Chain A
């Protein structure tokens, strides 16, 4: 028992000083409605764009729930590589046992995005927003504009 307390103390002290990655594995599940990208995989870090701010998730992150904002989600894998995905909306769940579930409505790898089509969608959405008749239609069009803007940004960077 003493050995375990000493070990945790040592880890905590170490963490206070340096930004060390935790040893505990993170079980990461990332899926969209027609594709599963990661299923209970072990990754090092995930950066998610959410309405409560973009934040990075490491193993042993404090449990939380968040709603995804349209934007780019970055996965830093164990091997050191990083992959970027564009997500339109969805939810993030971080549980106490370090398992993370990201359920996106639509998601695509940033490399697969076509800049020209993204710009096209943006211009169409902007014209729809300006000509919208009802409040509801305007709100929906503004949502499309937001997603399209992020899409263009992601396509330009990817």
Chain B
């Protein structure tokens, strides 16, 4: 039999295979079935890299490992491609609904701007509503909202309460600001949001019992298919509205009207934020899945080349053995 040294030399030819676990953005967390072939593997006596306990069998096990990996990356590419198609369809629908919802948001904020309503100065407590959703694989949607909130509360987190719409934002904020989270809304993002959902969330917010001077909704505003902005929408309490600068310009207002107005405008703002968030999320997921499919495609190309080279090396090796065996006879 060939000496280990010679075997090692042959392994050198296939040893320029790079470990693909480290390529690009598709990061596989486990390194099982790692195809890294250490050229010095056979010169070392100790077994360092468990390769299914089969490193005595040259080439074949590696071939199987590469084939398994190739198959799995191909499956992943199929999945990401279909996710892209699905979110493209959902995005088209979300954009149509957003066109209708935008006047709602514009109409509500128009009053707050023109009446120059400001938060109550005597009550420094703030209520922050993080508007995201339950589902991931959508790029930086959830983390941009959480970053915004964390940056704001970096100095002083004592006078703020957070209500999370969506599981993902709660999961991220719970790590740092768990004592500030007073409520969470789940089951968001699967189906398009309706006004009734916004109304229920508004009721939940107002019944949360937190005495706030000013409230803010943090949401992702849809700009284009490839970009969105993380912005804030302020909302106020009835007493803040009554204390506003230009409120006396407005005729025939009583406490009842202001209360109903405030509740309805909070609902419209939430509806608007949910629609914008949904549109940004679907477009972001579309681009994320598109890049994932492209990366998977690149990995498949590289793996196929590796596979072919390994296969050829195995065949060549067997041929050489046969020939040298025959020559010895």
Contact = CB atoms under 8 A, between A and B. Distances in A.
A62 B110 contact: no
Contacts of A63: 249-251
A42 interface: no
B260 A29 contact: no
Interface stretch (B96-104, B283-291, B313-321): B96-104
Nearest to B194: A33
A36 B103 contact: yes
A103 B111 contact: no
Given A29-B106, A65-B261, A101-B110, A34 B252 contact: no
B114 A67 contact: no
B108 interface: yes
Interface residues of B, number: 29
Given A31-B104, A103-B104, A52 B249 contact: no
A85 B256 CA distance: 25
A95 interface: yes
A25 to B, nearest CB: 16
A117 interface: no
B209 to A, nearest CB: 19
A29 B231 CA distance: 24
Contact of B100 (A31, A65, A93, A99): A31
Interface string B219-246: 0000000000000000000000000001
Contact of B268 (A29, A34, A103): A103
A97 interface: yes
B100 A34 contact: yes
B114 A96 contact: yes
B264 interface: yes
A129 B138 CA distance: 46
B304 to A, nearest CB: 49
For chain B, what secondary structure do more than half of its interface residues adopt (helix, strand, loop), or is it mixed? helix
A90 interface: yes
A96 B248 CA distance: 11
Tell me whether chain A's interface is mostly helix, strand or loop, or mixed. Answer: strand
A111 to B, nearest CB: 20
B195 interface: yes
A92 B295 CA distance: 52
B111 A65 contact: yes
A142 interface: no
A24 interface: no
Residue among B99, B103, B194, B252 with the highest chain A CB neighbour number at 10 A: B103
Interface of A: 29, 31, 33-36, 39, 51-52, 62-67, 89-91, 93-97, 99, 101, 103, 105
Interface of B: 97, 99-101, 103-104, 106-108, 110-111, 114, 194-195, 246, 249-253, 256-258, 260-261, 264-265, 268, 271
Given A90-B264, A101-B103, A101-B108, 6 more contacts: A29-B106, A33-B100, A67-B257, A93-B107, A103-B103, A105-B195
18 contacts: A29-B103, A31-B107, A33-B104, A33-B271, A66-B257, A91-B260, A93-B107, A94-B250, A95-B110, A95-B114, A96-B114, A97-B114, A99-B110, A101-B106, A101-B107, A101-B108, A103-B264, A103-B268
